[in-house]
Structure 1
Amino acid sequence: MEHFSACTLDCPDVCSTIVEIDEQGNTSIKGNPAHPVTQGYTCKKGKHALARINAPDRITTPLMRDGATFAPVSWEKALNAIANKISTLRSTPERMLHVRGFGFHGVLADTSRYLFGQLEASSTHGALCDNAIIESCILDFGELDQNSYTELLNADCIVNWGRDVLRSSIHTAALLKDAQNNGCQLISISPVSPEEGMRIHVSNTHIQIRPGTDRFLAAAIIRRLSEAGIPNTILNRTSNGSEFLAFIKKLDEKKLLDACGIRSEELNTLVEIYGKENCAVSSILGWGLQRYTYGGENVRYINALSMLSGNIGKKGAGSYGGVSTGRNFDSTWRSGSKTARKLLTPKLADEILDAGDIEFLWCDGTNAVNQTPEANKMAKAFNTIDMVVVVDAFMNDTAKRADIILPCALIYEREDILGSYFHNYIQHSAKVITPRGEARADYDIIKDLANRLSIPFPERDEILTTALNTKPITNLTKNPLEKIRRQGFLPTDWPTVAFKDMQFKHPDGKYRFPDPVLHDELKASVDFPLSLLSLINKDFEHSQIPADKQQEQLKAYVYPATLTQSNIEPDAQAYIVSPIGKIQVQVVADTSVHPEAVIVRRGGWMMFNRCPNTIIEAHVTDIGWNAAYYSQRVRLEPIEQ
């Protein structure tokens, strides 16, 4: 029997899937061929769902700390203990902290936010992932929006500013390949060539840029375009265009190119593309380029380039920074929530320690100890809290620091509806498998706890029905919940071209350029000359990596000459050293890596000495309060054999 469902991983593709269960109970997963984006195939990360569900080390019963170990307990005992602790803190809600991540997406995934909002508990602000892009685009355009993904097929040229589509979005990669086959020119700009590293070529040209310096290259292109003249039809649609261009014209081209490490010939190529008349250029914003101290500035200068080159508000063009996963849903079911205070996510360890009064922490949807900067300090912060509750299915770095572990149902064991930050379809993730052991869906866990606290809680279908009661969907069907459950996904009616005719969402309808300033990148020092880039893993999402896949040593990919300068042989053992610690790695010589960078793949656990966040300081971006992971400076040290 076949069941429509969907992948809930933190991925832009949000694949619509078909789960097939045969007469013997064997289960398989494939992409839904009827879905316009999924088109019948999924990535390795999505295919690993069944292995994760059936993993022998999965936690399937509530666990309570017993000294240095954990003992199985009943749901009754676990939830009563939690409810009793919360009850003692109802008059001091700031002493409760809710930490929620995006290990899985969905409307019902937000039920924990509803409960702790009703309790007025402390929560978090800022982000580990993409707030710098989101807030920068809102500052520029007035809202977060982009052309439909289908408009990439109408582009004459696509400039990919650092998005590793081969590891982060296989359907985007396929789309770029289709565009290329249609005659579209593809250019990638990043410190590392993912195509070379994976022996797959999807770009006609790769420009290797110094880590974190995209804004200087964008400014250099804008400067050249301004010399040729920006049409008044564009400048009239901006609120501060004249001031911004006056600043740009004063910049020195050589200094801009020196800052980003780009040759004049490469600049000429980009100027020709962005400056060509009647040439539709789509600019894809990589999530990595905003994970620097001036990541927001990187985004805003690339957006400014798209605007001034006439590539906003028309077909085949645009700046692709994403859309909100929740924009197709009505969230009024969560209204009335409050928070006592908000702690900054990228600096959460310091925030908890500085507060000094957190007595209860509920953590769900994230391996927070592992994923935040200064992971060792985060572990210490957790240890200062009287009761830590972790909702998870595996004994990861965060679960190890818990007092109570609540086993959650996984994808295909729970129902939800969710959107994408890449395309405009909404998907139904159906429950088609009975949760293993005593595992429960997050919604059921939260509702049971709410009942014990005498907090009214909406029914599942009430939440889903309310969420689907939105303008982009209501004109498609009178009963969207019934329809999406039946067919697995629904389209929406968002325009294919965002900001058509250069009409923006600011009160005056005009575009906003950044302030006339261009900040220098943090300088390398003699002690720490290299940038540590903890980039996306191609096989697993974030830290959702099986323990048996983490037994090999963490590898670091380094340009061969950089290894020579550090007196390290290829494949040798070495330390990556930062101001707050070091981690042992096996170095791999890789010509696709920028000479000033060290590449590791993110997600490894501390317990296996594979977590780069143990040596990454808590840097914060200029916009959006985002973690600036990639501004970490390090050095390589040989290990004497």
Structure 2
Amino acid sequence: MRSTSAHAAHTTGEAPGRSSGHATGEAATEHRIITSCTRDCPNSCGLVATVRDGHLVRLAGDPDHPLTRGKACVKAQRYVKRVYSPERITHPLLRDHRHQPWRRVAWDEALDRIAARMTAIRDESGTEAILYYQGYGERTALKLLNRYFFNLFGGVTTLRGSLCGGAGQGAQNLDFGERVSHDPLDHYNSNSLILWGRNPASTQISLVPILRDIRKRGATVILVDPVRNRSAPLADRHIAPRAGTDAFLAMAVTRLILHAGGEDRAFMQRHAGGAAEYLRILDRYTVDDLCARCGVPVADAEFLADTMLRQRPTSILLGWGMHRHEAAHLSIRAVDALGAISGNIGVPGGGVSQGFEEYGPYDQQYWGDGLNPPRRTLLLPEIGREILDARNPEIRMIMVTAGNPACMAADAGAVARAFRKAEFVVYSGQFMDDTADLGHAFLPATTFLEEDDAMASYGHNYVGPVNRAIAPVGECRSEFMMFHDLAARFPFADRFRRGVDEWLRDLCTPVWQQGCTPERLRAGAFRLDAPMVPYADKTFPTPSGRFRFMTDFDPAGLGTVEPDYPYRLLTIAPHGYICSERTMAEHDALAEVVLTTDEAARLGLADGAVVRVESRVGAVKAILRTADGQRADILVAERGGWNKAGHGLNLLTRALSSQVGRGTPYYETCVRVLPWPEDGVTGLRVLVVQHSTDAPGGNFCKELARCGATLATLHPGKGDALPPRDEALAGYDALVVLGGPQHCWDDAGSPHFPHLMDLLRAFDAAGRPVAGICLGAQLLARAHGGRPWTMDALEFGFLSCTPTEAGLADPVLGPALSGALPLPRLMSYHEDTFDLPQGATLLVQGTQCRNQGFRVGNASYGFQFHLEVDAAIVQGWVDMFRKGRMSEYASCREKFDDVYFDALARDMPLLAEASGAFCRKVAAGWLALARRQ
């Protein structure tokens, strides 16, 4: 291992540690802790955390949870890796200006700064000049106290509306008086079940066994969704209406049931109001007309109607995609009406179920909203514009918890502009995501595995324990402890500063009143006093006590698209992540968008093409994927990718509010798909030579792909033959040679080296850019006559380097370095180096190893440092080093001991972030050389 290190994948399922661990020979102690998932998901799974010697090693479903029964999604299983991610920020950070680098500070300094800014802004502009943005990342009992803190402070600007289920809840409240859903276990009583915009395979895993079980006994499951999602294989039939037109489908099915005489006349006459008015609305349309409006064959509506007639009761489960339209209430109310007319309301195995009240089990006086006169609220679905337009006072300070609005809110570009306008932004989170980049203070938050709390669900009737499994990583604190300690700096400290258990006893009073105790809840999930079958007595919490049919129906605009923007953009829930809960290293180069194969062909676009997706709000670059059988009027993508990773699809979405419930109509965004315009870079062909799977292309190659280049990677060590010189020059516009464990002079051990050096010279002679990294830089130097040699000591870690005057003026490095001096510390891992070839220009120099970056020939660049690394790559190298899997460096363990590696782990997130930003600039500048050729 002479030129680079190895990056070993973890194959045991255990997380890489960020501490030195226990000495060999000590007996391991293992514990299992019952807890609950607190992420933004309706499942709120019961979990079992396995902890060995204080270290989380496994996270699995709790087999004793009455509903989730040992099920846990892939997202929960990955949380072990997330807890110990090398990209996780584990210490408070501050900076005075956004263009400055972050600096680590003690908690007292961070909280003092925040308290001082809050006080000064309150005294100068009033409390409403401060915005508290409480996101959806966690909605546990103690989260009520976040707003309580700000109300004790005097009441600040907060949010109204939602990013998610507001339209659905608001619509069902109009029909039922108060939305109450069937217990998920009641679906076992269903003889048919309709997943109307629901995708439990990805978003509610505990429903999957129920679906499978009822199908085994003969029940029919139907998926209604414009997209054939991952739940389609669980269904007997998939029906794909035009996005936003579900009302027409529901009305068509209702008309067919009425025509067959299958309506529940008794319910309509005795327990409902507005039935006659709704029937008159139906009379305005024929079944053929309704099916044409929603874009489905009449046979699909007939199948739905026939199933509901023959296989009663039918349970209808509404998904969250149903809410993402401006007039979502029309579709939801039409489905509610279908449930009512078909006789499925208030019966076991029936119902139209949308969600549950996750804050319902708590004493909501602890929001503290009654402590002050009404304070200003901003509309969450339009938050960017709302902040920018706020006056008297303007928003001067923003504090964000449990959210990533710069990524997840609609019209993300406006959100970023609004945050930049604020004088001081405080961000509580775990990773340096899009919103963190806009901050002045970063408060590192614990995960639910490092906290005590209680968790209710918006997907079922259980409240579960949140039991701390491990001590907080680094200096992370729970949001409760952040506000607890911040409160000490204000006169209301005695009203807020109480212990977790004391607060939970008060917050969960409604739970205790139902027969639970704190001790009982700590042991496992407790079912709340909620009906299995709501409205079983046919009495509804409306003024009349009756169900209310929709009596006004204006379908104008439902499902329409603009001629210039013919596709509805549907940003659906990813299977592997919850919204934006990912890291920079976990992103692919570009987001993928899916268009039906026929439509792509009509546009002259092939699968894998780099495309420009445009809306009236913005434009993004993406990779096109084609799919057979998808609707021709939709473009589908996964939501949650970060803007700075090239996945910012909310840069396209319109900021507007639903007509009912103040939800966010993401799916009202219409787009067009175009070939990426000719820019001289997109489509460039880059040959990448990778010598080891332990030394991947990382950020460098990922950025080339983001710029639109097409990469072909060869692995000589796995038997890939390098192309002949003429073939390589005919097939590729640039060449990248990565690192590896080989000595660059060992032609016997790596017989492809002579030919590779010939290619290095040939590409340069043709004026085609060459980039060599670590071993690749050494081979580049050798190819041009430089002498390689071994240094006296290994160089490992993020080291300081200095640009030369030539480096500052260089066409690749100069623009990248301007405004960013000094250079970030850059990762090195090598003991071989080289003399510069004759005629080469030194661009970056180091202390121990002088020749860190150079230019030679026409367009060839050598980087001895590993500018390509991300935190995951470095962590893999560190793990191998610490575990003694690199015997070549055993003598170096005295210098690179546990103290060294612990310090590296603490600094890794910021080091990797700065190095990655530098790499992306250099990669783009280097690729531009090929354009100039």
Same fold, TM-score > 0.5, yes or no: yes
Q: Write the distance in 2 (CA, Å) between the matches of 1:261 and 1:26.
A: 50
Does the 8 A contact of 2:317 with 2:354 survive in 1? yes
- Separation (CA, whole Å) in 2 of partners of 1:384 and 1:87: 19
Task: Give the deviation of 1:346 after TM superposition.
Answer: 0.9
1:202 aligns with 2:246: no
For residues 81 and 23 of structure 1, the distance between their equivalents in structure 2, rounded to whole angstroms, comes to 37
Question: Deviations along 1:66-94, whole A, 9 cap, x unmatched?
Answer: 44221111211111111112112335111
- TM, length-normalised to structure 1: 0.96
2:435 maps to a residue whose letter is T
The within-5 A match list for 1:341-356 is 341-356=376-391
**3-state SS, counterpart of residue 133 of structure 2:** strand
Cross-structure match for 1:106: 140
Number of aligned residue pairs: 633
Aligned CA RMSD, in angstroms, stands at 1.7
Is the 2:612–2:674 contact (alpha carbons within 8 Å) kept by the matching residues of 1? yes
Aligned residue for 2:335? 302
Which residue is equivalent to 2:326?
293
CA distance in structure 2 between the aligned counterparts of 1:433 and 1:528, rounded to whole angstroms: 50
- CA contact 2:189–2:348 (8 Å) conserved in 1: yes
Query: Secondary structure of the residue that 1:274 maps to in structure 2?
Result: helix
Aligned equivalent of 1:439: 476
Match for residue 154 of structure 1?
189
Alignment of 1:190 with 2:212, yes or no, is no
1:452-502, Cα deviation, whole Å (9 max, x unpaired): 1122215222321123222x653434xx112211x1221223221101132
Residue of structure 2 in register with 1:241 after alignment: 275
Letter of the structure 1 residue corresponding to residue 646 of structure 2? N
**1:312–1:318 Cα contact (<8 Å) kept:** yes
Residue of structure 2 aligned with 1:42, choices 62, 72, 84: 72
Q: Using the alignment, how far apart are the partners of 2:151 and 2:582 within structure 1?
A: 31
Q: Distance in 2 between matches of 1:512 and 1:603?
A: 37
- 1-structure distance, mates of 2:170, 2:56: 45
Map of 2:537 onto structure 1: 501
For residues 458 and 227 of structure 1, the distance between their equivalents in structure 2, rounded to whole angstroms, comes to 64
Larger RCO: 1 or 2 (CA < 8 Å, sep 6+)? 1
User: Partner of 2:315 in structure 1?
Assistant: 282
Letter paired with 1:312: I
1:473/1:492 contact within 8 Å kept: no
**Residue 383 (structure 1) shift:** 0.7
- 1:635 is matched with 672
Conserved 8 A contact 1:226-1:245: no
Counting only pairs closer than 5 Å after superposition, residues 72-151 of structure 1 correspond to structure 2 as 72-90=104-122, 92-118=126-152, 119-151=154-186
Aligned residue for 1:636, secondary structure, equals: strand
Match of 2:362 among 325, 329, 344: 329
* Distance (whole Å) between structure 1 residues aligned to residue 528 and residue 132 of structure 2: 33
Q: Among 630, 635, 638, which residue is 1:593 paired with? A: 630
- Structure 2 distance, partners of 1:24, 1:150, is 36
The structural deviation recorded for 1:26 is 5.3
Q: Which whole-Å deviations, capped at 9, do the CAs of 1:130-183 have from their partners, x for residues lacking one?
A: 101111111110112111111111111101111111111111122211111121
Write out per-residue CA displacement over residues 202-233 of structure 1, whole angstroms, 9 at most, x where no aligned residue. 00111111111100111112223334554441
Contact 1:207–1:266, Cα closer than 8 Å, also in 2: yes
Distance, in Å, in 2 between the alignment partners of 1:105 and 1:120 is 21
1:6 touches 1:14 (CA, 8 Å); kept in 2? yes
Aligned to 1:8: 38
Structure 2 contact 54–470 (Cα < 8 Å) conserved: no
Name which of 446, 460, 464 aligns with 1:409. Answer: 446
Letter in 2 for 1:270: L
Distance 1:40 1:337 in 2: 43
Name the stretch that deviates more: 326-335 or 99-108: 326-335
1:95–1:572 distance in 2 versus 1, CA, 3 Å: same
Structure 2 residues not aligned, in runs of 5+: 1-30, 684-933
* Distance change >3 Å, CA 248–CA 554, structure 1 → 2: same
SS at match of 1:170: coil
Aligned residue type for 2:631: H
SS of equivalent residue, structure 1 residue 234 = helix
Contact 1:297 1:622 in 2 (8 A): no
TM-score (norm 2): 0.66
The farther-off stretch of 329-338 and 448-457 is 329-338
How big is each residue's C-alpha offset from its partner over 1:106-151, in whole Å with a ceiling of 9 and x where there is no partner?
0112221111122210101011111011111111101121111111
* 1:540-551 alignment runs, 5 A limit: 540-551=577-588
The answer to whether the Cα contact below 8 Å between 2:181 and 2:353 also exists between their aligned partners in 1 is yes
Corresponding letter in the other structure for 1:332:
Q
Q: Which has the larger radius of gyration?
A: 2
Q: CA deviation at 1:23?
A: 4.3
In the aligned structure 2, how far is the partner of 1:316 from the partner of 1:25? 44
Superposed, 1:227-626 pairs within 5 Å as 227-229=259-261, 230-235=263-268, 236-276=270-310, 279-335=312-368, 336-338=370-372, 339-356=374-391, 357-455=394-492, 456-457=495-496, 459=498, 460-470=500-510, 473-477=512-516, 480-485=517-522, 487-520=523-556, 521-626=558-663
Aligned-pair identity (%): 27
Note the alpha carbon deviations across 1:511-535, whole angstroms, 9 max, x for none.
1122321413152222100111010
Q: 1:172 corresponds to which residue?
A: 207
